[in-house]
Amino acid sequence: MTTNNLPIIPSRTFADWKQMLHGFWPSKATFTEKDYPEFKDKVIIVTGGNTGVGYETVKSLAGSTKAKIYIFSRNKEKTLKAIEQIELEVAKEYKIKPIPIGFIQTDLGDLTSIKPAVNEFLSKESRLDLIILNAGVMMPPPGSKTKQGYELQLGTNVLGHFLLQRLLDPIFIKTSFNNPPGVSRIVWVASTAHQLAPLGGIFWEDKNFDKVPYNSNTKMQLYGQSKAADILLAKAWPRFNPDAKNVISTSLCPGYLQTELTRHSSAFELFLGKLLTWPRRNGAYTELYAAFSPNIKNGDYSISFGEPSHVRKDLNSIEAGDKLWDWCVKETNPYV
């Protein structure tokens, strides 16, 4: 829906404002490494696990579980260095030698790279128990596009992850049949910025915002759109996979964190961010709360640093989720 060809942004409720403010003054994490399952002989994928909150999530998993972990990321050299550093830090902090961390190279901003990555993973593993869709792009320079011409955040944060999950679904669902209910999970990393997304999550009249004047507001709306889409997909996944009754699909905002996501921010935004954001380690607690807490149910949304919360009311719409799902299927069909 539009007003003079501009997206409509719904007004925030008191509860929405409370959630936004919570990010500045979150409660201390209570669900931490002491509460994580052993996860012995299980397999985990973390996208973007070579940097930021993904790095901390992988480190916490490597230090506190016995799972086999794979990082899916774009930069081979950077990721191999990160894995080496994670293993050193795990040995120091957790006093153990972690199970070797695997690496699969893929670029979520290039849909042609995803199927080869999944095929490589399938050549190495016969099961998959947990997927943390953590990688993301935040407010890149205006006009940034993926290899296939989508707005970079929509193409990477949404379509890239959708295709990856779509291709992993067969092994993931097969594994879930042999797991107790709730062990197999998909964790879609979204953001409180979803509250700034267009009505219904997506500005369907102009998904790339090609005709929308670019300013500080639309910059946030574009990012919010991609994160609202992740929430819609998290809620839609169980509807489109009704046989996967043991699986939980959930989304979250990891928190307002000091990570490389802010690399495209202005000098003032970076200065303000240092005053108002938290160490990235805290964000891992949010992600792993969603991944492991027995209190999580299908479609739940969590906030920093491991608390249940809500999503903007219009993002609970089945119609909105189904429309996005159908579009994602259509756009990724050529790459399956």
Say which DSSP state 156 is in: I
Has 223 been annotated as catalytic? yes
Q: Which has the closest alpha carbon to 61: 76, 48, 74, 43?
A: 43
Contact 6, 31 (CB under 8 A): no
Has 227 been annotated as catalytic? yes
Which CATH code fits 2-335?
3.40.50.720
Q: Which has the closest alpha carbon to 49: 64, 68, 70, 65?
A: 70
Q: Which has the closest alpha carbon to 185: 200, 195, 175?
A: 175
Scanning 241-317, the segments in alpha helix (DSSP H) are 267-276, 280-292
For 34, counting Cβ atoms within 10 Å of its Cβ (0-12 exposed, 13-18 middle, 19+ buried), the class is: exposed
Location of structure tokens 């979803």:
194
Q: Of 70, 150, 223, 289, which residue is the catalytic one?
A: 223
Nearest-angstrom CA–CA distance, 62 and 55: 11
Contact 86, 99 (CB under 8 A): no
Residue 45's pLDDT is: 98
Q: Which has the closest alpha carbon to 69: 32, 95, 44?
A: 44
149: left (phi over 0), alpha (psi -120 to 50) or beta: left
Nearest-angstrom CA–CA distance, 198 and 218: 10
Contact 60, 288 (CB under 8 A): yes
SS3 6: strand
Residue 216's pLDDT is: 87
Question: Per the structure block, which two tokens stand in for 42?
Answer: 């299980």
Domain ranges of the chain: 2-335
Nearest-angstrom CA–CA distance, 41 and 237: 26
DSSP strands (E only) in the chain = 2-3, 6-7, 43-47, 68-73, 102-105, 130-133, 185-189, 248-252, 301-303, 307-309
- What is the distance, to the nearest Å, from the Cα of residue 79 to the centroid of all Cα atoms in its chain? 18
293 C-beta neighbours (distance < 10 Å), count: 19
In DSSP terms, 251 is beta-bridged to 188, 301
Contact 82, 113 (CB under 8 A): no
Contact 307, 134 (CB under 8 A): no
Averaged pLDDT, groups of 10, the chain, 336 residues long: 76 96 93 97 98 97 98 97 98 95 98 98 98 96 95 98 98 98 98 97 96 92 97 98 97 86 54 71 97 98 97 98 98 98
Residue 169's pLDDT is: 98
Contact 39, 45 (CB under 8 A): no
Residue 272's pLDDT is: 58
Nearest-angstrom CA–CA distance, 279 and 28: 12
Question: Per the structure block, which two tokens stand in for 185?
Answer: 């999970």
Residue 278's pLDDT is: 82
Maximum C-alpha span of the chain: 60
Whether the full predicted model's pTM is greater than 0.85, yes or no, is yes
DSSP of 20-62: HHHTTSPPPP-S-GGGS---TT-EEEEETTTSHHHHHHHHHHH
Contact 290, 304 (CB under 8 A): no
Query: Model confidence over 174-224: pLDDT tens digits?
Result: 999 999 999 999 999 999 999 999 999 999 999 999 999 999 899 999 999
Q: Of 227, 235, 285, 289, which residue is the catalytic one?
A: 227
